[in-house]
Amino acid sequence: MLASLARVVAVTLKEMIQLKRDRFTFGMILGIPVMQLLLFGYAINADPKQLPTALVSRDPGQVERSIVGALERSGYFRVVAQVTGEPEVERLIAAGDVAFVVTIPDGFTRDLLKGERAQILIEADATDPAATSNAVAALNQLPRSALRHDLPALATEPAFDVVIHRRYNPEGLTAYNIVPGLLGVILTMTMVLMTSLAVTRETERGTMENLLAMPLRPAEVMAGKILPYIVIGYAQVGVVLVAARYLFAVPMLGSLGLLTLALLAFLLANLAVGLTFSAIARNQLQAMQMTFFFFLPSMLLSGFMFPFRGMPGWAQGIGEVLPLTHFLRIVRGILLKGNGAIEIWPEVWPLLAFAAIAWTVAILRYRRTLD
């Protein structure tokens, strides 16, 4: 047992030295999180204002002017076009020339004064929800602020409804979703890639023959090889969380200790996937291709890119299998909702189950001979 531990340590130390010498890989490990954070962070941090807005007014007059004034006072909207026809509206929003189209329907003032279901329609281009969500949120205040000055009698209660159509992306992700989600995406990418390369590298360079000739058990090699990556994984988590907190002011309501524990399950699941790939792949290129084969569905079907509930059933089915899906729910739950152990457990056990199966496959597929 002690000897076994010593062998694991030997492999770990060797991996660390190799990693240290491999400047490129090392740089990539720290570079990926920083780069992704900066790229995605921009979309989050920017709380864009003065968004181009088209106005379709079928009821010109005092009320119309009040509403437009209120929209512009909120800071988020800037009316750049006055249009009349439906085709023109479509063209503007499809081309991305405007982010919003505000339609004040025929007879709006009349309905308002009569107290009858007056509505204005706001269509938002939600392809980039991070860009429009704050503006959409500001619309809640619109009925009150629009009428406060000009028709104070009507401003006491919501005098008219603002009907919001989010175009192209009905669920509208919120900005805070992204940074915690990024944590899972970065870990999936680096953990699977690094481990799958770590073993294939030995096969490719011929050092596997020596390793196999020495008294090392498969489990010892695997444990020794993944230990450095667990450390690296946590380092990446640290980088992302610090950035999330201080650069992007992401709320952290739940326990970071709980997150650390849940992370371990997620890391183990991904490391096992990497080891399985390395046992199947014949060379580093194949290992890399397999990693992307795993990474793409993780990215697309986990709820990181697209809202999970918006996906068709079969896609959700695949998504439910992937570790990233569950981890996203865990990390968003802990950070944003302040979830505790009981709330996240339904998402933790699928991770553990996945890890157990992947580890079994990895150990079974590990080559004990050169055949």
Partner 1 sequence: MSDLAIDVEGLTKRFGARTVVDNVSLKIPAGEVWGFLGPNGSGKTTTIRMLCGLLKPDGGHGTCLGLDILTQAEAIKRQVGYMTQRFSFYEDLTVRENLDFVARLYALPNRREQVERTMQRVGLSDRRSQLAGSLSGGWKQRLALAACMMHAPKLLLLDEPTAGVDPQARREFWEQIHALAREGVTVLVSTHYMDEAERCDRIAYIAYGKLLAVGTVEEVVAGARLSTWVATGPGRDKIATMLAKAPGIGTAVFGPSLHVSSADPAALRRAIEPLMGDPHVTWRETTASLEDVFIHLIQDATVAQAKEAQDRAA
Contacts with partner 1 in 9-38 (CB under 8 A)?
A: 9-10, 13-14, 17-18, 21-22
Query: What is d(CA 71, CA 310) in angstroms, rounded to the nearest whole number?
Result: 30
**Which residues, at least 6 apart from 77, have a Cβ–Cβ distance to it below 8 Å?**
50, 51, 53, 71, 100, 102, 135
| Other residues' Cβ atoms within 10 Å of the Cβ of residue 280 | 16
4, 5, 231, 334 from 8: Cα distances, Å: 6, 5, 15, 33
Q: For the CB of residue 234, give the shortest distance to partner 1 in the complex, in Å.
A: 25
How far apart are CB 10 and partner 1 at their closest, in Å?
3
Total binding residues for partner 1 by CB under 8 A?
A: 27
The verdict on 363 binding partner 1 (CB under 8 A) reads: no
Residues 281-310 that bind partner 1 (CB under 8 A): none
Contacts of 36 (CB under 8 A, 6+ apart): 182, 185, 186
Q: Which stretch binds partner 1 (CB under 8 A): 1-9, 119-127, 190-198, 242-250?
A: 1-9
Choose the stretch contacting partner 1; rule: CB under 8 A; options: 3-11, 59-67, 177-185, 264-272.
3-11
Window 177-236: residues binding partner 1 (CB under 8 A): 205-210, 212-217
Asked whether 238 and 263 are in contact (CB, 8 A), the reply is no
Separation between Cα atoms, residue 58 and residue 219, nearest integer Å: 73
Taking the C-alpha atoms of 33, 194, 319 and 44 in order, what is their torsion angle to the nearest 10 degrees?
A: 0
Nearer to partner 1, 32 or 208 (CB): 208
Residue 46 three-state SS: coil
The residue among 128 and 204 lying less far from partner 1, judged by its C-beta, is: 204
Name the residue nearer to partner 1 (CB basis): 157 or 371.
371
Contacts for 34 with CB less than 8 Å, ≥ 6 apart: 239
Name the minimum Å distance from CB 197 to partner 1: 14
Binding-site ranges for partner 1 (CB under 8 A): 3, 6-7, 9-10, 13-14, 17-18, 21-22, 205-210, 212-217, 368-371
